[in-house]
């Protein structure tokens, strides 16, 4: 597991290395998770942009998202 340090995003980490079955592990740099993404600073968003994220999924309830909306995320367009 790789932990990244941000100014306002807490517990941001690469899920790579976790067991994935049949003796394999998840690839690094593919799936990240975090807490407090709505509080991301400009510096945090720039750091996330460097990771080349293709999607951000907000699993909070609709009321939580309305009360504390997330800032626009750094979605990259990866070449196929």
* Model pLDDT for residues 45-68, shown as the tens digit of each residue: 888 888 888 888 888 899 988 898
Span 31-36, average pLDDT: 88
Cα distance between residue 45 and residue 53, in whole Å: 11
| Boundaries of domain holding 58 | 2-67
Q: Mean pLDDT of all residues in the chain?
A: 83
Residue 44 has pLDDT above 70, yes or no: yes
Span 30-38, average pLDDT: 88
The whole-model pTM stands at 0.71
Residue carrying the six token digits 């690094």: 28
Domain count of the chain?
1
15, part of any domain: yes
74, part of any domain: no
Residue 79 has pLDDT above 50, yes or no: no
79, part of any domain: no
């Amino acid at each position: 597991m790789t932990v990244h340090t941000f100014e306002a995003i807490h517990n941001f980490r690469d899920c790579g290395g976790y067991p994935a079955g049949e003796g394999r592990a998840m690839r690094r740099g593919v799936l990240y998770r975090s807490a407090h993404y709505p509080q991301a600073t400009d510096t945090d968003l720039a750091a996330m942009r460097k990771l080349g994220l293709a999607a951000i999924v907000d699993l909070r309830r609709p009321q939580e998202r309305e009360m504390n909306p997330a800032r626009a995320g750094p979605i990259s367009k990866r070449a196929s």
